[in-house]
Structure 1
């Protein structure tokens, strides 16, 4: 069986995790947390980077930082993971969905302005499959309407837009280090990217249960106390130790995933040329990270048939999100502005193929051959 995913492992994680376990500080913001956060700040050029236990919690911190209040509205695509919406719903926001572009599965930037009202507080672009949204357009809209932009860059570490790392363009952003992502901090984890310096100090306070504990350890106050709202948004240093082992091999992981992505693209191009399926589109000026390779077939029935066929052939392939606006909670906490021209129909066509660090060339060929075999039977 070729699994759909296998968590990345490079070989050095063991020694770092053991070192963290044997240290005098296994809780958050230990030695490995500091190493990781410094690495991201230097790699991204952001004002501050804070590790979190998950991408979900990084988004929750972002909602707190921009002071989301009950009744505020936040614009985002419906084709995304539930955490993108939940982080703001938890603060009382109403989610406003707009349709996606069928070429990238990203939010259609041309539809955002029509969804803005006097209650709109933020725009949350989601870089699906590590492919950038049209950030220049989105930032221009946000600037003209005095809105915050929070990038959901869960899938986008090492991707760029016009040479800029994704996650560094909006006011705030979130990465995911879940085991299904390109890099993991022992199965779970995330990070908050702060690009607007005015959020830096408050982010530390919110992350430390609403206390000024970090200022105390820097000698800025003589004792720390409760000064703001907050929660426990620190991962253990053991998680950071595992992630450090991944960051050391960051480039090799990225290169291998891009190679696998390229093999799929080349191997399945003949089926797109024959109008049997559609392959991913990478817009000009965007560099993706090989996070995901998906194909889109003509309808839900074909998708079900192909998934069943691949399973019988020992290939793990999956579909992806059910659009949030069609879910029970979506009906309660959101509204869809404009026509659902592509969100639902495109989501019902999409299949994700195996992409993970260590997937062999032989296995990639097996997947390609299985997809071709299925269409040869139709």
Structure 2
């Protein structure tokens, strides 16, 4: 039987809550379960304002509107990321400025950010790859110095934290001006699709609600704060249905259980593959001392594109599905239509060599040991 790369799962009352939502007579957005989820995140992670969205992409697009991105503004984004990190701002007319990762992990390098800041820079988008924190203290210092917005792409970073030099520990997503999370079926906590926007500055609370409600002040109307509602700003339909929120809330009730299991899986991979790292066959994830590990994924870095391709093929022959990840966005067809090719070596190396291993809640110890053993057989050969 094939071991898939990912597998959605039910852990608690997902189906029961979906039925409750349907029977309540309201399955459109902003119902009971949406509010339960938003309250959960605000209380657990001290997020000042949470708005569930249909996707992390939508949350990023809302952030771009809140930052008032206009034609000619520059937005700094890591080249090694998913297209949404850049596309949300490109849609508003921004010039996307791609910068490199560290050489030893895929997160954006603040030294590279600093080199690319100009008077036109409006936003920095740190992407917490694999749920591991970017160096947020360094990034926020740059942002403050140059009066730049920071939008955390925390798609993979639920339940992960950053520790500042003074010992202060904050949840990822609570540090920048805005943050976007994902509940796609490949994430730690899933709802099929779904995401959320975190707003960390009170002066943007009201506008964020308006943008999420198609540019209307409908939310304020339902709270009785205005006697009618109308079109007052830019916006779109960013609300998830109660079906998504109901599924998500059941997952949130089991967050600690899910995280504990995922950390066990992550540690088993790390311990099982450590010998190969010590021999120099592969590189394994690095967790900086300022970051916690939320066990979002487990990746390894091969020595070359050819070696990774051969390993993927070998594992597939053994009914194990492993996958590569992002393609450097500076090499994308869309970017090269209007821009010269630029050299971003670390991102290109991860594009060619990084491999993600099967990782999901129901992955068994037996299946995982088989994956580790087959990887060792490949390198021994």
Shorter chain as normaliser: what TM range? over 0.9
Which residue pairs with 2:187 in the alignment?
181
Which residue pairs with 1:100 in the alignment?
101
Cα deviation, residue 285, structure 1: 2.3
Q: Are 2:32 and 1:28 aligned?
A: no
Which residue pairs with 1:61 in the alignment?
62
Q: Are 2:7 and 1:6 aligned?
A: yes
Q: 1:15 to 1:334 in 2, by over 3 A?
A: farther
Q: State the number of aligned residues.
A: 375
Aligned ranges 1:274-293 → 2 under 5 Å:
274-293=279-298
Q: Is the 8 A contact 1:97 1:335 kept in 2?
A: no
Cα deviation, residue 335, structure 1: 6.9
Cα deviation, residue 217, structure 1: 1.2
Aligned ranges 1:198-277 → 2 under 5 Å:
198-277=203-282
Which residue pairs with 2:350 in the alignment?
346
What is the alpha-carbon distance in structure 2 between the residues aligned to residue 184 and residue 333 of structure 1? 37
> Residue 286 of structure 1: SS of its match in structure 2?
coil
What is the alpha-carbon distance in structure 1 between the residues aligned to residue 274 and residue 82 of structure 2? 29
* CA displacement, residues 315-372 of structure 1 (integer Å, 9 cap, x when unaligned): 11000011111011122466777x4221102321110001111111111101100100
Q: 1:333 to 1:244 in 2, by over 3 A?
A: farther
Q: Is the 8 A contact 2:78 2:99 kept in 1?
A: yes
Q: 1:205 to 1:334 in 2, by over 3 A?
A: farther
Q: Is the 8 A contact 2:331 2:341 kept in 1?
A: no
What is the alpha-carbon distance in structure 2 between the residues aligned to residue 272 and residue 301 of structure 1? 18
Aligned ranges 1:159-198 → 2 under 5 Å:
159-162=160-163, 163-185=169-191, 187-198=192-203
Q: Are 2:140 and 1:148 aligned?
A: no
Q: Is the 8 A contact 1:52 1:190 kept in 2?
A: yes
What TM-score, normalized to structure 1?
A: 0.97
What is the alpha-carbon distance in structure 1 between the residues aligned to residue 341 and residue 110 of structure 2? 15
What is the alpha-carbon distance in structure 2 between the residues aligned to residue 109 and residue 83 of structure 1? 21
Moved over 3 A (4+): 332-337
* CA displacement, residues 115-156 of structure 1 (integer Å, 9 cap, x when unaligned): 011111000000000000000000000000000000000000
Which residue pairs with 2:76 in the alignment?
75
Q: Is the 8 A contact 2:38 2:52 kept in 1?
A: yes
* CA displacement, residues 3-47 of structure 1 (integer Å, 9 cap, x when unaligned): 100113203101001111111111000000010000011112111
What is the alpha-carbon distance in structure 2 between the residues aligned to residue 340 and residue 326 of structure 1? 9
> Residue 173 of structure 1: SS of its match in structure 2?
strand
What TM-score, normalized to structure 2?
A: 0.97
Which residue pairs with 2:166 in the alignment?
none
Q: Is the 8 A contact 2:80 2:329 kept in 1?
A: yes
Residue segments in structure 1 that go unaligned for 5+ positions in a row: none
What is the alpha-carbon distance in structure 1 between the residues aligned to residue 254 and residue 244 of structure 2? 16
Q: Is the 8 A contact 1:68 1:88 kept in 2?
A: yes
> Residue 342 of structure 1: SS of its match in structure 2?
helix
What is the alpha-carbon distance in structure 2 between the residues aligned to residue 195 and residue 276 of structure 1? 43
Q: Is the 8 A contact 2:14 2:246 kept in 1?
A: yes
Q: Is the 8 A contact 1:325 1:335 kept in 2?
A: no
What is the alpha-carbon distance in structure 1 between the residues aligned to residue 210 and residue 45 of structure 2? 22
What is the alpha-carbon distance in structure 2 between the residues aligned to residue 42 and residue 174 of structure 1? 17
> Residue 348 of structure 1: SS of its match in structure 2?
helix
Which residue pairs with 2:336 in the alignment?
331
Cα deviation, residue 113, structure 1: 1.2
Residue segments in structure 2 that go unaligned for 5+ positions in a row: 164-168
Aligned ranges 1:305-320 → 2 under 5 Å:
305-320=310-325
RMSD of aligned Cα (Å): 1.1
